[in-house]
């Protein structure tokens, strides 16, 4: 499955909740929505990353694709940038160099146009998911989670453009 198809269902949910945000913010249920959205966002990112790696490996060799599928069967939230870079290095150093170049350009774009550090935003979203799942306390607001999800898809796009044979 193309990785970007993973975003379709989540986009529908995020857009729906965002359109009803005024009835959620400031209420006792906001942390639950925030946690749900952070889990949804990180799950979608995990699945998209896994799809990218499997598609890349399968294009090289069918059996390599099966191996990568089995290797990443349970990626389990290990997609913070430091882990993601470790995953990429396993394919070849040239792919990590490409990814890092693209990530620098992406971060520069987001700094200049939105005043945000996309790498920090991405890792904070993953941390929010972790804190919610393990402690019941999301570390971001619902608006920050929605914003992070929408912006941080760019990191997945950077990975896709770096993993070209």
pLDDT tens column, 29-71: 999 999 999 999 999 999 999 999 999 999 999 999 899 988 8
pTM to 2 decimals? Answer: 0.93
Q: Which tops the pLDDT comparison, 24 or 76? A: 24
Backbone angles phi, psi at 123, to 5 degrees: -65, -35
Percent of the chain with pLDDT strictly greater than 90: 88
Cβ-contact 107, 152 below 8 angstroms? no
The closest of 141, 114, 135 to 30, measured between CA atoms, is 141
Average pLDDT, integer, range 73-86 = 86
Query: In whole angstroms, what is the distance from residue 61 CA to residue 72 CA?
Result: 16
> For residue 121, is pLDDT > 80?
yes
């Amino acid at each position: 499955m193309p990785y970007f198809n993973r975003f379709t269902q989540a986009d529908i949910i995020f857009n729906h909740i965002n359109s009803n945000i005024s009835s959620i913010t400031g209420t006792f249920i906001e942390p639950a929505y925030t946690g749900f959205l952070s889990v949804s966002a990180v799950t979608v990112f995990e699945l998209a990353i896994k799809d990218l790696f499997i598609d890349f490996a399968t294009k090289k060799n069918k059996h390599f694709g099966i191996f990568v599928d089995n290797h990443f069967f349970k990626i389990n939230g290990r997609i913070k940038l430091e882990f993601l870079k470790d995953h990429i290095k396993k394919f070849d150093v040239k792919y990590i160099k490409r990814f890092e170049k693209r990530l620098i350009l992406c971060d520069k774009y987001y700094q200049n146009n939105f005043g945000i550090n996309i790498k920090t935003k991405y890792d904070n979203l993953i941390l929010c998911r972790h804190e919610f799942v393990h402690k019941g306390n999301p570390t971001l607001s619902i608006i920050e989670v929605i914003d992070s999800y929408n912006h941080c898809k760019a990191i997945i796009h950077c990975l896709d453009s770096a993993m070209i044979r």
